[in-house]
Structure formats: structure tokens, C-alpha cells
Structure 1
């Protein structure tokens, strides 16, 4: 049954791609219909699939959706204060916009989730990237690649903890592989997407009660973006369930710092305070609040529907059952790393959540590490990294990060699959090859 469910899931994805091609149907509507079709085809009752869908929708909107709203408000303030236009003009003289974004993605990849990090960086990306597909693809691939290979990203913390891998050794192996993976993503983005900025009118008519200081607003946008990323990284530290950073009430405090309501309130308040932006009616429907809400509403709903589809896939259990089919394969030597990678990749692709895929794959590998020849410290560290790389492969329509990259790069679902999804698959393959090579060298 699980094979049939996986086939129905892939058919639902194909349906969304076909009907949204050339803009014939809105992705939001197509994804909703595809989710319903998958639910019924997979044998879920109406009550079951609607409950699962509603839960996934609510969790996604409450989590990533609020973060997207915070970013939309920041972008609206930056546009009104002239920060977006000022930064865009400064970036015109840069020889490359992609390399700085790749570095930012590498550092920010240890945030609590790559999707949240991408969302809070979107206002800065709009200014520096000019709405071009290449910068969005570069940042998305950099965040994805780093998140699956670096501690203290939650995916790697979970892997290393469950497999009892040495964190220092995991980090020592993970850093060079993460750098390589990010460079591969950078090269792929340059080859697959245009870097030509999409000109957009970011000017806002300012009245006598408004202060228009673009340099100060640009500085505010940079500082606030860095601050929000720092909060998300701090939240990752809170996932370390041990003293001195992660134990007891300290852990709850650190986790709270990166939660969406804090990002929303703190980010907007700091942006207004540092930029000293004033706009008559700014808090109303015609002000920056209204503009931000209008710009983010469609994307938030789309992310919610993607979350609903992901939850439905998780409820069927098809990801775990199909992954278990691989447990009978026991590759020899350094190729043993193929198994943990494949387990995580299958589950990520079928149910969308990198963290769920990583935790489940690590649990399956607990008793298999020693029989596969991965029971030594180096083997456990590399197995954890293989799971992390697999857990970021492949990002597609049931992943919020996919839709964020597609929106920022102005890519259709089909174009995003051909670029971002393929890019994450390529990064996963390169990371796996690098890990196998490390195993050969240090076994």
C-alpha cells in the first residue's frame, strides 16, 4: 500500500506542475486540489484528511507564515523609507551579488530552520538581488546545504545525539563538506538562473509628516536582518538539551527568542526605531502595514497549504514504510553511507519535513551503524552527516522553503522544481560523495 500511496503522491505533484504551467491555474488552488486528490487516492477518509490538512495548515501559518508576515512588514517599511532603492543602487556596481549571499547562507544555515532564515532575509535579498532568480536560488541552496551539515542546526543536533556521534568530529567533517556543498549550489545557481535584476518601483510618495532617510533605513534593514538571524541561531542553541546553554528554564528562554511572534514584534519595532521611519497612516490599510499584509497574504496561504499536504503525507506513514524497504540493503565499506543518506532522502522527499526525516532515519540507523562498519567515532559522525545531507534532499512542493525561493525568484512551480529542487538533489549527491571520500581517507 505504501508504494501506491507514494505513486499517488507523485501524481498529485505532477498534477500541480502541469496545471500551473504557463500560469493557467494559481499554484494555491492547484496545490489544494492536488492535496485533496492525494488524500482520497491514498485511502484517507474525508474526516481524516481534513483533520490532518487543517493541523498542518495551522502549524505552518502559525510558524513560517508569521515569519513571512514579519519579513513583509520589514520590506514595506524599507520600501517606504527608501532603503530598498538605495541598496539596490549600491548593489549595481558589485561584480557579483551571488557570492556574498552564499556566505550569508552558509552562516545562517545553522538557524532553527532554513525556511525561517530565508524569510527574514527576504527584504535584504529584494534589495541586493533586485528580484532576480539567481540570488534567490543562491541563498536558498546555501541555507539548505549548510543546514544539513553544520552543528548547531537542529537537523544535525538530532542526528549526532541519536547516533551518539562526537560533536567536535562531526563539526570537523561537516564544515568542509558544507563549504563544498554551498559552492556547488552557487555554481549551479549561476548556470541555471538569470542574475539580471527585475526592475520594480519601490518608490513611495512621502508626505510632510514622513522622514525619508534612505541611508539610515538601509543600515536599519541590515542590522535588523542580522539581529533576526542571530535570534534564530540562538533558538538552535536552545535545542541543545544540556547545560549551560540548553538546560531548564534557559532552554525555554532560548527557544522562545526565535519564535515567530518574537520575530514579528521585535523585528518591526527595531526597524521602525532604528530607521526612525514615520508615515502618516502607516498602521492603516493604505500604509506599510496594509501593503505588507497584501503582499504576503497569498504566499502565507500557499505555505499553509503546502504544510497541510506535508502533514497528510506524514499521517499516511508512507515515508517510513518506503524507507524501511531499504533496510535490507547493506552496502560494504565506505559505501555504507549510502544507506543513511537514502533513508533520510526518501522520507524528506515524501513527507517534507527535514527534521522528521533526520530523526526517523537516525532512529533506524541506531542499531545498524555497527553492523555496517560505521560504529567507530568517525563512522558515526559521517553517518550523521549523511543523514543530514539526505534530509535536505529533495525540497519541492510540500516544503515551505521551496515556495519562499520560488516567490523571491519569481519562478513558476515548474521552474522552481527544475532549479531549486534539482539543485538540492545535486547538493545532496555531492555531499554524499564527499563523505564517502572522507570515509575512505580516514577509515
Structure 2
């Protein structure tokens, strides 16, 4: 049955792309229809489909939905205060904008989720590169590269903890590996997207006038972006269930720093305070708040529908059952690292959550590291890295991260499947190839 359910998900994906591209069906409506249709095809009752979709929708609107709203408010303030135009003018003289974005993405990938990190960095990305498909793809692939193989990103924390990996060795291998994957992502983005940079679509706010001190507003935008990224990384440190970072009474405080509501309040408040942008009526429906809500509404609906589809897929249990089928195909020697990679990639692709994929795959591999010849500290560490690489593979329509990149780069779903989904798959393949090479040389 699980194989049929996986096939139904593939059919749902194909139908969705066709509905949007050929049938010209509105994207949110098409995604909702294929999500519910998949639930029925997978054998769920009407009540169960509705319950699962609603729960997934609500969870996704909370995280990363509230963070997306925070980013929309920050972007609206930056536009009205003149920061977006000011930074765009300064960035025109840069030789390349891809490399700075890739570096920022690699650092931000240490945060709680790629979706949250992408959302908080999107206003800064718009200011540097405008509404550019290339910049959105560079940032997305860079986030994916570091989130899968670097500690303290939650994916690596989970896999390293469950498999008993050597954290120091994981960091030593993970850092150059992340740089390599980030470089690959930048190359892929530059070769698959046009070189042109469209200016960010900004709007006059409230009284039709921009702030007279855009330099100050630009500083505010950069500072707020860095603060929010730091809060997301700090939340990841809180996931370490031991002293001195994550244990004791400090743990809840560290975790709270990355909560969506806290990010919303801190991000918006800091942007207002540092830019000192207080136009009359700015908090009204006609001001920057109303503009931000209008901008974010469509994306929030898509993220919610993606969460609904992901929840339905999780409730079927097909991801775990299909992954278990691969266990009997485990190869020997350095090729054994293909198993943890494949387990995580299958779970991630079928149900949409990288963290769930890392936890599930690590749990499956935990008792197999000995028989696979990976029971030594180096083998366990390489297996944890392979799980992390697989857990970031092929995000698609059941992942809010996919829709954030699509919205930022103005990609159609089909175009982004061929760029982001395939790009992360190539990054994962390169990562596991490097890990197998390391195992071969070290053994």
C-alpha cells in the first residue's frame, strides 16, 4: 500500500504542475485540491483528510507563517524608509552579488529551519539583488547546504545525537563540505537562471514620501537581519540538551528566542526603532502594515496548504514504510553510507520535513551501524553527515521552504522543481560521494 501512496503523491505533484501551467488554475486552489485528492487516494476518510489538512495548515501558518509576516513588515518599512533603494544603488557597483548572498546563506543555515532563515533574510536579499530569480536560488541552495551538514543546525544535531557521532569530527568534516556544497549551489544558480537583476518592486507609503535618512534605514535593515539570524542560531543552540548551552534553566529562554511571535515582535520593533520610521497612519490598513499584510497573504495561504499536504502525507506513514524497504538493499564498505543518505532523502521527499527525516532515518540506522561497518566513531560521524545530506534533498510542493523561494524568485512551480529540487538533490549526491571517498581513504 505504501508504494501506491508514494505513487499517488507523484501523480498529485504532476497534476498540480499541469493544473497551474496548462489549466491556469490559481496556485493555492490547485495545491489544496491535490492535497485533499491525495488524502482520498491514500485511503483516508473525509473527516480524517479534513482534520489532517487543517492541523497541518495551522501549524504551517504559525511556523514559518508568522516569520513570513515579520519579514513582510520589515520589507515594507525598508521600502518606505528608502533602505531598499539605497542598498540597491550601492550594490550595483559590486562585481558579484551571488557570493555575499551565498556566504550569508551558509551562516544562516545554522538556524532552526531553512524556511525561517530564508524569510528573515529575504528583505535584505531584495535590497541587494532586487526581485532576482538568481539571488533567491543562491540563497535557497546555500541555506540547504549548511543546514544539512553543519552543527548546530537541528538536522545535524538530531542525527549526530542519535547515532552517537563525534561532534568535533562532524564539525571538521562538515565545514569544508558545506563550503563545497554552497559553491555548487552558487554555480547551479548562475547557470540555470538569467543574469539580469530586476529592481525590487517598492511602493510609496502613507503620504507618498520616503524617509529623508535612507542611510540610517539601510543600517537598520542590515542590523535587524543579522539579529534575527542570530536568534535563530541561538534557538538551535538551545536544542543541545546539555550544559552549558542547552541544559538547565537557560534552555527554554534560548528556545524562546526563535519562536515566531518573538521574531515578529523583535524584528518589527527593532526596524521601527533603528530606522525611526513613524509615518502618520503607518499602523493603519492604509499604511505599511496594510501593505505588508497584502503582500504576505498569498504566500501565507500557499505555506499553509503545503503544511496541510505534508501533514496528510505524514499521517499515511508511507515515508517510513517505503524507507524501510531500502534497508535490505544496504551495500557494503564505503558504499554503506548510501543507506542513511537514501533513507533520509526518501522520508524528506515524501513527507516534507527535514528534521523529521533526520530523526526517522537516524533511528532506523542506529542499530545497523555495526552490521554496516560504521560502528566506529568515524563511521558514525560519516553516517550522521550522510543523514543530514539526505534530509535536505528535493524540497517540493509539500515544503514551505519551496514556496518561499518560489515567491522570492518569481518562479513557476515547474521551473523551481527543475532548479531548487534538482539542485538540492545534486548537492546531496555530491555530499555523499565526498563522504564515501573519505571513508575509503580512511579505512
TM-score, with structure 2 as normaliser: 0.98
Deviations 1:85-136 (A, max 9, x none): 1111111111111000000011111101111000000100111111110010
Tell me the CA shift for residue 204 of structure 1: 1.7
Tell me the CA shift for residue 211 of structure 1: 3.9
Tell me the CA shift for residue 193 of structure 1: 0.8
1:34 matched to 2:34? The reply is yes
Query: Conserved in 2, the CA contact under 8 Å of 1:206 and 1:212?
Result: no
Task: State the match for 2:439 in structure 1.
Answer: 439
Task: State the match for 2:166 in structure 1.
Answer: 166
The 1:44–1:290 alpha-carbon spacing in structure 2 relative to 1, beyond 3 Å, is same
Q: Give the 3-state SS of the residue equivalent to 1:284 in structure 2.
A: coil
Query: Conserved in 2, the CA contact under 8 Å of 1:344 and 1:361?
Result: yes
Deviations 1:175-208 (A, max 9, x none): 1111111110010000001231123442526749
Q: Give the 3-state SS of the residue equivalent to 1:148 in structure 2.
A: helix
C-alpha distance in structure 2 between counterparts of 1:236 and 1:31, whole Å: 31
Task: State the match for 2:313 in structure 1.
Answer: 313
1:123 matched to 2:112? The reply is no
Aligned ranges for residues 216-255 of structure 1 at < 5 Å? 216-255=216-255
The 1:35–1:206 alpha-carbon spacing in structure 2 relative to 1, beyond 3 Å, is closer
Which of structure 1's runs of 4+ aligned residues deviate more than 6 A?
A: none
Task: State the match for 1:408 in structure 2.
Answer: 408
The 1:22–1:81 alpha-carbon spacing in structure 2 relative to 1, beyond 3 Å, is farther
Task: State the match for 1:143 in structure 2.
Answer: 143
TM-score, with structure 1 as normaliser: 0.98
Task: State the match for 2:368 in structure 1.
Answer: 368
C-alpha distance in structure 1 between counterparts of 2:185 and 2:210, whole Å: 42
Q: Give the 3-state SS of the residue equivalent to 2:63 in structure 1.
A: helix
Deviations 1:283-329 (A, max 9, x none): 00110100000000110110011001001000000000000000101
Query: Conserved in 2, the CA contact under 8 Å of 1:12 and 1:38?
Result: yes
1:347 matched to 2:383? The reply is no
C-alpha distance in structure 1 between counterparts of 2:348 and 2:210, whole Å: 48
Tell me the CA shift for residue 330 of structure 1: 2.2
Query: Conserved in 2, the CA contact under 8 Å of 1:212 and 1:277?
Result: no
Task: State the match for 1:107 in structure 2.
Answer: 107
The 1:375–1:201 alpha-carbon spacing in structure 2 relative to 1, beyond 3 Å, is closer
Aligned ranges for residues 322-333 of structure 1 at < 5 Å? 322-333=322-333
Deviations 1:340-378 (A, max 9, x none): 000000000000000000000000001100110000111
C-alpha distance in structure 1 between counterparts of 2:201 and 2:372, whole Å: 58
Q: Give the 3-state SS of the residue equivalent to 1:194 in structure 2.
A: coil
Q: Count residues with an aligned counterpart.
A: 443
Task: State the match for 2:49 in structure 1.
Answer: 49
Task: State the match for 2:279 in structure 1.
Answer: 279
Task: State the match for 1:177 in structure 2.
Answer: 177
Deviations 1:391-435 (A, max 9, x none): 001111111111000000000111111111111111111111111
1:417 matched to 2:413? The reply is no
Query: Conserved in 1, the CA contact under 8 Å of 2:67 and 2:260?
Result: yes
